[in-house]
């Protein structure tokens, strides 16, 4: 799962990822290339960007809904997996190629993408705040017990 700094970096990068060609380029080091369902081309068409880390080499994220998936197998169908785990993703529901969108449709989508990003970022920051509160409460309790 991406940390807050990774999420912030991805937000600006993913703004360019309406382009299927740019998404496909992110899969340069992708292990599944031939004779399988999850080739770079199919991953990119399903909206995914390859976001590998040292511990998670096959993590992908949808540029739009930001869902992260890993543990890919050659038989996995990226569009099916995306639909199964994020059925309300507006990229999946777009129903037309990006180049066929009107300017108004593009801005409506971009507004929805920004809302998703802000909601997830706030959620992640709240998790960090809760963790910090828990650590502080444990410290206070241990100090009280030692008095």
Burial 91-111 (b: 16+ CB within 10 A, else e): bbebeeeeeeeeeeeeeebee
Using CB under 5 A as the binding rule, the residues of this chain from 83 to 112 that contact Zn ion are 86, 89, 91
Nearer to Zn ion by Cβ, of 87 and 143: the residue is 87
User: What is the smallest separation between the CB atom of 49 and Zn ion, expressed in angstroms?
Assistant: 11
Owner of token pair 């206070």: 140
Residue 44 touching Zn ion (CB under 5 A): no
CA angle 97, 78, 37 (to 5 degrees): 105
Using CB under 5 A as the binding rule, the residues of this chain from 49 to 78 that contact Zn ion are 62, 64-65
Q: Provide the 10 A C-beta neighbour count for residue 113.
A: 22
Nearer to Zn ion by Cβ, of 39 and 60: the residue is 60
User: What is the smallest separation between the CB atom of 7 and Zn ion, expressed in angstroms?
Assistant: 15
User: What is the smallest separation between the CB atom of 103 and Zn ion, expressed in angstroms?
Assistant: 22
Which value, in Å, is the radius of gyration of the alpha carbons in the chain? 19
Nearer to Zn ion by Cβ, of 54 and 97: the residue is 97
Q: How far is CA 91 from the centre of its chain?
A: 12
User: What is the smallest separation between the CB atom of 91 and Zn ion, expressed in angstroms?
Assistant: 5
- Give the interface with Zn ion as residue ranges (CB under 5 A): 62, 64-65, 86, 89, 91
């Amino acid at each position: 799962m991406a940390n807050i700094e990774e999420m912030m970096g991805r937000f600006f990068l993913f703004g360019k990822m309406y382009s299927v060609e740019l998404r496909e380029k992110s899969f340069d080091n992708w292990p599944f290339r031939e004779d399988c369902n999850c080739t770079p081309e199919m991953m990119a068409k399903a909206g995914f960007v390859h976001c590998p880390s040292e511990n998670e080499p096959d993590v992908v994220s949808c540029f739009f809904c930001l869902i992260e998936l890993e543990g890919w197998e050659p038989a996995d169908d990226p569009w099916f997996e995306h639909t199964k785990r994020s059925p309300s993703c507006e990229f999946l529901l777009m129903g037309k190629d990006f180049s066929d969108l009107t300017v108004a449709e593009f801005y409506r989508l971009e507004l929805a993408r920004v809302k998703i990003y802000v909601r997830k970022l706030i959620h992640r920051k709240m998790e960090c705040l809760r963790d910090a509160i828990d650590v502080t409460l444990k410290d206070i309790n241990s100090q009280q017990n030692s008095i």
